[in-house]
Amino acid sequence: MRIDIVTLFPGMVEPALSDSIVGRARTRGIVDIRVHNLRDSAPGKHRVTDDTPFGGGGGMIMKPEPLAACIETLRAPGTRVILLDPAGRRFTQEVARDLSQRQHLVLVCGRYEGVDERVREHLVDEELSIGDYVLSGGEAAALVVSEAVTRLLPGVLGDEGAPARDSFSRGLLEHPQYTRPEVFRDCAVPDVLRSGDHARIERWKRVMSVWRTWQRRRDLLETADLSPEEQKWVAGFSQGRPPEDHLE
């Protein structure tokens, strides 16, 4: 898979992509991520990439010509061009899974007050937002999308089944996790996790995943892929029954 990131500030992006899981995936050739300085596509001596908005107003707008030149150079058959922008649809695990099936992504990082509307209309395929808040630019969002997509590619994670157990993989939050020591500040790891009974452990994980989602993100339960048994657990939680009632 190839991911091209278009930005005015490559120094904000490249170092983060060279470390940890994404860095290892790049080194192993599983994903080819390239960072492009938009100024290299701007004409003239001063490489201008922004200008004042028509109609007045504060701030600057990213000009269409440099973006068009850069995007059109990178676009190929099957390329998906994505503008990172707070007005886009929300980026979710489901969206990441869909993007991981594609061969080539171009992530365009907005800046200042945004991009010329003609870029949205004619040069990008979709817009994505990582949340309902505003950043100074799309660089952080490009890093989020790149990592979320990369970790879903075959061979990236040591445990190939890990993505299926992640939070949001079934529309639910992940169950609580513990490691050594068994007792930390008088708080012990749940007995079931030390029992060696794999069936009981798996049921505990399922119950606690649904319980945590019910506690923290009940909105997710409206669209989560719940089995009939899990739906009964949710009903029990709503009636005041604790998760322990569903472990046997």
First to last CA, the chain: 45
Which entry of 34, 80, 86, 212 is annotated as an active-site residue? 86
Which entry of 14, 113, 126, 174 is annotated as an active-site residue? 113
Mark whether 113 is an active-site residue. Answer: yes
Structural contact between residues 238 and 213, judged by C-beta atoms closer than 8 angstroms: no
Q: How many Cβ atoms from other residues are within 10 Å of residue 240's Cβ? A: 7
Distance from C-alpha of 210 to C-alpha of 31, rounded to nearest angstrom:
34
Which entry of 151, 163, 170, 243 is annotated as an active-site residue? 151
Distance from C-alpha of 136 to C-alpha of 12, rounded to nearest angstrom:
12
Distance from C-alpha of 90 to C-alpha of 87, rounded to nearest angstrom:
9
Which entry of 166, 200, 203, 212 is annotated as an active-site residue? 166
- CA 199 → CA 96, 184, 203, 232, distances in Å? 31, 26, 6, 19
Catalytic positions: 86, 113, 151, 166
